[in-house]
Structure 1
Amino acid sequence: MHKRIAPAAVVWALASLVPLSIAQGQPLTPAGNPEPNDATSADQVLSGANIPALDPHTMTRNEIAEVLGTGPLCTYHYTTAGNPILAFNEAPAEGAPAGVVKLDGELIALSPMQVGEGFGLASVSVRLLVVPEELPEAGEQEEAVLRFEVGDQLTVGYLGYFGCT
């Protein structure tokens, strides 16, 4: 089971982490499928969702591949053994989605978002920020904070695990 933490705790957790920046000039191999296939727009999902109770759902490898294709990805998990709730490519092919999250049972393609530290992704009013305690080695996971926002209606923080392949 994942932990939901209060927004004040997220601010404290984010402020207490060592600043990280996305490495530039060393992109990962782009995903094999640059076109999103089965992604739903964030507007469609949010229009029928109960925003205060909205949480990212876990995704299978096949669901992630539907939107991002195959190839090296970074993922965020509620637990060390569970399926990811967020997947992204640090350097997506031009025009391809950078990431995917599953909300209210639907896959949502995400674009990169400029952030001061960690990794940011967004789609319309949905924003996700992953801040690992330290960057993990390839194939390893590190504890990380995920900040999940839906406009000004919801800001939630999760403690989980982040890693890249």
Structure 2
Amino acid sequence: MKKFLVAVVACLMVFAVAEVYANNAGCGFGTAIMQGKQGKVFEVLAVTTNGTSASSTFAITTGSSGYKEGAVIGVNMVDVYVAENMDSLATDIAAGRGEYVDTLAHLMKVENKDAFKDMLHKNFNKIYSSKDITSKQVVANIRDLQNS
């Protein structure tokens, strides 16, 4: 009975993994051999092959087997950076210069960094519109300024 329950749980976990990795089996040997095939079965096979063969590490290191630079699922590095550096970033924006604002410009792939820093400096009160502002709001305010 225990073996049966373990088998059922294992099968359910495979389908759960399929849902999590729907349309994104990651990179690795499994992704390469299942390329172009649609459906949960192929996604599960790709994920399983990637996981059991440890080919994802090789793919990331060499840039092969479906690896895409910067393809971090569900993570926006700008959001993480601003959240982790709110106070220091505010200080740099208020001053119009500094390593925190330089790093932000790099993460946001800004071409004209001097104009970007000047824009942030001149609009400090629009970016940090209240003392209780969240990092997500700061990022949204910066993006709004960039698009205006």
Greater strand share, 1 or 2?
A: 1
If the length of structure 2 is used for normalisation, what is the TM-score?
0.22
If the length of structure 1 is used for normalisation, what is the TM-score?
0.20
Greater helix share, 1 or 2?
A: 2
Q: Report 1 or 2 for greater relative contact order, CA contacts < 8 Å, sequence distance ≥ 6.
A: 1
Rg (Cα) greater in structure: 2
